[in-house]
Amino acid sequence: MRYYSTNHRSQIVDFREATVKGQPEDKGLYFPETIPVLPKDIIKTHSKEEIALEVITPYIDNTIEKNELRRIVEETINFNFPLIQITDDIFSLELFHGPTLAFKDVGARFMSRCLEYFVRNNNRKVIVLTATSGDTGGAVANGFYKAAGIDVVILYPSKKVSNIQELQLTTLGENIHALEINGSFDDCQRLVKQAFADDQLNGPLMLTSANSINVARWLPQQFYYFFALQQWPDKDVLPIISVPSGNFGNLCAGLLAYRSGLPAAHFIAACNSNDVVPEYFETGAYKAKKSVQTLSNAMDVGDPSNFVRMLELFNADYNVLSKLISSYSISDEETRNTIKEVENYLLDPHGAVAYASLKKHGGKGIFLETAHPAKFNDEIEPPPAVSVLLHRKKEATQMDADYNQLKDYLFSHSLK
């Protein structure tokens, strides 16, 4: 498989280069040249490991040796993805059984292992530099923990991530380094962008990003849509799939799976008050906005990076897109009420947005429960994998939102 940039159909690369580079120089996103069509009976006859391997193999080609790819896939999905019935018509696909209790574990675990494979014979360390508003940091830290030849530097905004989220990225040690920035998430992201654009850094150091637009994080997210269909009990009705969306990587992975043959009836782009995509479906025009803060903070995105992939998947044909996808914007008040109203199941704020959207739309379907509710509510007891964190000591380097400080840190750090 080869990948082109969505900006210019040039800059063709293979999976290895797309993973290591992250983003094409023209600032588009890498997109597969062809979309594989999978055998019809794949979800009936295959185990979850076999499905995952079948789904991902065409995208990898021969950039990863076969047995190694099998190992990487098996390690990526070595936890459960249960489909739980909530009402007659609504099912929850629980994506929070991974080590950091969020669906981002799948992408982070897959990408870290691919990158580790690709830099194996490098004589220099690669530095993965990432800004996080909360969930990405934990998943990346955990996914890359002890990866050979890779150092990870994570910037997070001081006092603006939850307690558990902070512990997840500041207590591992080894090759994981946390920078606590006196500033906002936007400051963190600006500093990271500045570092990638700085030739003085990029010559001597090998910097890369673990951003959610990386194909190695995006593509494996197709897996759990197939796992959902494998567990879908209704032989006569295909499910509507409601996806809580921020940067739209997750939904675009579902749509990619659909184009490869995933049997689904319809998709819902479930959003909080950050409603550029619901507005696109209403008006046909896309207008980026400044993000607003909500209860489902991992979805507070005003200009979702993966929207271009959504267009690319359907040749930007508004009629095709709006037939297959509906989109809803759910307020914080509706989110709170939904969590209260659903008494037999504990929703987290992100899952609640998807649940409420599915309910609004009507019909029979699945919503993606993308994080464990304990991550966002201190009154809920977290599972053991996370509660052990509460006894660990936070280790972070404090820093102002000042690029020169970051640069000094990266230089002195890389000498060790």
Interacting positions 259-298 with ligand PLP (CB under 6 A): 298
Q: Is 299 in the site for ligand PLP (CB under 6 A)?
A: yes
Contact 211, 337 (CB under 8 A): no
Q: How far is CA 129 from the centre of its chain?
A: 16
| Shortest Å distance, C-beta 378 to ligand PLP | 17
3-state secondary structure at position 5: strand
Distance, in Å, from the CA atom of 268 to the CA atom of 354, rounded to the nearest integer, reads 8
Q: Is 286 exposed, middle or buried (0-12, 13-18, 19+ CB in 10 A)?
A: middle
CB 105 within 8 A of CB 379: no
Nearer to ligand PLP, 135 or 334 (CB): 135
Q: Say how many residues touch ligand PLP, by CB under 6 A.
A: 16
| Interaction of residue 372 with ligand PLP, rule CB under 6 A | no
DSSP letter at 375? G
Q: For the chain, how far is it from start to end, CA to CA, in angstroms?
A: 38
Does 220 help bind ligand PLP (rule: CB under 6 A)? no
Query: Where in 228-247 is the site for ligand PLP (CB under 6 A)?
Result: 244-247
Check: CB of residue 81 under 8 Å from CB of residue 93.
yes
Of 256, 371, 399, 401, which one interacts with ligand PLP (CB under 6 A)? 371
Helix, strand, coil percentages for the chain (3-state, nearest 5): 45, 15, 40
Nearest residue (CB) to ligand PLP, 115 versus 139: 139
* In 244-368, alpha helices (H): 249-259, 276-283, 307-313, 318-324, 332-341, 349-361
Q: Cβ of residue 244: shortest distance to ligand PLP, in angstroms?
A: 5
In the bound complex, what is the minimum distance in angstroms from residue 309's beta carbon to ligand PLP?
11
The pattern of x and - marking residues 7 through 46 that bind ligand PLP according to CB under 6 A reads ----------------------------------------
Least distance CB 134 / ligand PLP (angstroms): 7
CA angle 80, 86, 87 (to 5 degrees): 150
Q: Residue 379 CB, nearest distance to ligand PLP (Å)?
A: 18
Site for ligand PLP contains 99 (CB under 6 A):
no
- Report the nearest approach of ligand PLP to the CB of residue 310 (Å): 11
- The partner residues of 176 in beta bridges, in order of sequence, read 152
350 near ligand PLP, rule: CB under 6 A:
yes
**Residue 398: Cβ within 10 Å count:** 10
Per-residue x/- marks for ligand PLP, 133-172, CB under 6 A? --x-------------------------------------
Task: Kindly write down the DSSP assignment for every residue of 149-214, as one continuous string.
Answer: TEEEEEEEETT-S-HHHHHHHHS--TTEEEEEEES-HHHHHHHHHHHHH-HHHHTTSEEE---TTS
Q: Which is nearer to ligand PLP, 248 or 355 (CB)?
A: 248
Q: Enumerate residues 41-80 that contact ligand PLP by CB under 6 A.
A: none
- Given candidates 30, 91, 248, 328, which one binds ligand PLP under the rule CB under 6 A? 248
Between 6 and 63, whose beta carbon lies closer to ligand PLP? 6
Interface with ligand PLP by CB under 6 A: which residues? 102, 104, 135, 212, 244-250, 298-299, 350, 370-371
